Amino acid sequence: MDGASALTCAPILILLGPPGAGKGTQARMLQERFGLVQLSTGDLLRAAVAAGTEAGRAAEQVMKAGGLVSDEIVLAVLTERLAQDDCARGVVLDGFPRTTAQAEALDAMLAAGGQRISAVISLDVDAARMVQRVAGRFTCGGCGEGYHDDFKPTRTPGICDACGSEEMTRRTDDTARTAMARLDAYAAETAPLIDYYDRSGTLSRVDAMGAIDRIAADIARLVNGA
């Protein structure tokens, strides 16, 4: 079966994987294909930083250094977003949970509402190659198309292939130094969640080193079976 019709009740999916594994790309594809809401705690926190909220001010320096924002702040921004009506369609969590405390808080939150996680998909990559992947990323500010200095440059420098915009943006934490710190944080705090979800029987693993469309097809098969 294919598309949204395969999903009978609002699914809650989690994409796990280190920075650069392709969580954002795959979450956006799941959003389009299954009508799920992509919920990226990184995006929520960047929006809070841009808006200068209390949470944003507290998170800004930690994010710049590549560390993890406190569970309290992350849970507050996520809970607020989850309460919005569109999330009833089902969500794909991208970049959350990142600590065991966040995973336990999510379990408790869902249990209280009579819900549970549909699937946790671990995007398996060679972590040593992720610094290079992350350090060269940039995005078109016009349409959101993603590029990379080495692996996927624009055909004409500075101009988006997809929409012609000249407005390219780079995340301030997509530098080699910060990427290394983010990978360390992943190894120390987030990688243990693979075992956590394996024990609960919700984990599936996908080889995420190959072509984006093949990875998306593997994920879609898992979602249809969830």
What residues make contact with ligand AMP under the rule CB under 6 A? 19, 40-42, 45, 62-63, 66-69, 74, 95-98, 102, 173, 182
141 exposed, middle or buried (CB, 10 Å; 0-12, 13-18, 19+)? middle
**Nearer of residues 173 and 218 to ligand AMP, judged by Cβ:** 173
Out of 64, 89, 170, 171, the active site residue is: 171
Active-site residue flag, 214: no
State in angstroms the smallest separation of the CB of 157 from ligand AMP. Answer: 26
Query: Per DSSP, what are the bridge partners of residue 161?
Result: none
**Nearer of residues 64 and 224 to ligand AMP, judged by Cβ:** 64
177 in Cβ contact with 65 (< 8 Å): no
State in angstroms the smallest separation of the CB of 108 from ligand AMP. Answer: 16
Contacts of 142 (CB under 8 A, 6+ apart): 160, 163, 164, 165, 167
Out of 23, 46, 81, 133, the active site residue is: 23
Active-site residue flag, 89: no
State in angstroms the smallest separation of the CB of 42 from ligand AMP. Answer: 2
**Nearer of residues 41 and 202 to ligand AMP, judged by Cβ:** 41
Helices assigned H by DSSP within 52-118: 54-65, 71-82, 100-112
Active-site residue flag, 64: no
Task: Give the separation between CA 49 and CA 58, rounded to whole angstroms.
Answer: 8
Active site residues: 23, 98, 137, 171, 182
